[in-house]
Amino acid sequence: MQLTWLLRITLFFTLLVILMGAYTRLSDAGLGCPDWPGCYGHIKVPTQDHEISHAQSLFPDHDIEPEKAWLEMIHRYIAGGLGLLVLSIWVLCLKTPEAPKKLPLFIVLLILFQGALGMWTVTMKLMPIVVMSHLIGGFSLISLLLLLYLRTRPRRIVASGTSVQNLAPLALVSLFVLIGQIMLGGWTSSNYAALACTVLPICEGNWMDNLAIADAFSPFQGQHPSFEFGVLDYHARMTIHIAHRIGAIITASLLLLLAYRLFVSTQLKALSLLLVGLLVLQVSLGISNVVMHLPLGIAVSHNGGAALLLLTLVAINYFLWHQSSSTSRV
């Protein structure tokens, strides 16, 4: 019971870190503090005159912007609290005989790597491949925490016979397609390509003749003093944005098919309806980002919607694959 509640709190904290990270990134506050783990050499944002003077002497090429710095530091504080919660889960799992042991250890290692990615995000000046990896690490963390939570709960019977065995592969493919779409979203955001196309459904102009796939998806973009606000040209950013839109169409179609099959063939009707509801919300938020030119609240909600969609698919896969393996053993 104690482990269950701790996992619930940690899942909430992880979602909060993801949302705060998105808010920080979309507020252009990713370099609000140019050092790590402190801020201008302090454990908090410098506010006193002598602290500001010391900060300016350490970082003469940076303008101190307290609002952005506080966003970055609050994100770090919450992430630090999340790290302590994850360590507590690991310790509690070690003390609980029936609890998994390998999965919580892997989660601890993942959050340590997330800390390193957070440091590299700052020290490498928002290099897109690092920023996207940090985002994917957060989504991986919340997915594994949900998996651990589900493994500590009693199993559910979702169906019987061949329907589950047939649906499990579709659910797994859907999960991987969604992960790919989330990665595309992270690449779009980290390269500041969210507003590269401002009309629907695909992009304005003769976009088919101006795709720059090699430049758009090269993981390394040369040496730059900073990657803040992006270094790619318009055609590369447009290509990234278009790929994300096409990916959205493919992902939405596949998830709708999965939701329909779940509804008519299994007892996971509530999860199938939740999947449809979250998908409609996510598509609406994506369209709103384009039409309203990326308002901060909607853009952050779009990140949260992606996390909730991922959690829903993780749960669906967990129930289907466990039931499928149970059925095959009978």
pLDDT tens digits, one per residue of 185-231: 999 999 999 999 999 999 999 999 999 999 999 999 999 999 999 99
Q: Output the six-digit token pair for 195.
A: 């507003």
Backbone CA torsion sign across 35, 38, 44, 49: negative
> Nearest-CA neighbor of 197 among 244, 156, 150, 153?
244
Residue 319 has what pLDDT? 92
Residue 166 has what pLDDT? 83
Tokens 């454990």 locate to 43
pTM exceeding 0.95: no
In percent, the amount of the chain with pLDDT more than 70 equals: 95
> Nearest-CA neighbor of 227 among 19, 58, 31?
31
- Residue 123 CA to residue 141 CA, distance in Å, equals 23
- Residue 320 CA to residue 271 CA, distance in Å, equals 12
Residue 329 has what pLDDT? 47
Which own/partner pairs from 254-259 qualify as long-range (CB within 8 Å, at least 24 positions apart)? 254/173, 254/174, 254/177, 255/174, 255/178, 255/279, 255/309, 255/313, 257/170, 258/167, 258/170, 258/171, 258/174, 258/316
Average pLDDT over all residues of the chain: 93
Query: What residue ranges of the chain have pLDDT lower than 50?
Result: 327, 329-330
Q: Output the six-digit token pair for 126.
A: 């928002």
Residue 77 has what pLDDT? 96
Question: Which residues are annotated as catalytic?
Answer: 72
Q: Which residues pair with 42 in a beta bridge?
A: 39
Helices of type H across the chain: 2-26, 49-58, 66-95, 102-123, 128-151, 162-190, 213-216, 234-265, 269-291, 296-329
Tokens 């909060």 locate to 16
Residue 43: how many CB atoms within 10 A of its CB?
Answer: 10
* DSSP-derived 3-state class of residue 42: strand
Residue 162 has what pLDDT? 57
